Amino acid sequence: MSGQEGLIAGGLTAGFLVLAAFFLRFWGRTRDGLFLAFSAAFALMAVNQALPVVLHIPQEDRGGIYLIRLAAFVLIIVAVVAKNLKRDPD
């Protein structure tokens, strides 16, 4: 693994963690589950970026790591669908 690859993965990890904190702050204000789901999804994406670098997993053996990214996207999809199906009695 090159140093440049680790630098890029570290930058992406930091960005994902900033986004997770951003959405967590909005969840704290509104208690809307959609913000919590987005925060958790971005935290999972940060783990997805950091894990191969931290564990020194070669490029050809990273297939299983992408299941974490899949879980993040499924979490976002489920949260958006649940928010749209939720009916508020007005």
DSSP string, 5-46: HHHHHHHHHHHHHHHHHHHHHHHHHH--HHHHHHHHHHHHHH
The pLDDT confidence band at residue 1, using thresholds 50, 70 and 90, is low
User: pLDDT for 31-67, tens place per residue?
Assistant: 999 999 999 999 999 999 999 999 998 888 888 999 9
Query: What does the pLDDT read at residue 73?
Result: 98
pLDDT in tens, 19-32: 999 999 999 999 99
Q: How confident is the model at residue 86 (pLDDT cuts 50, 70, 90)?
A: confident
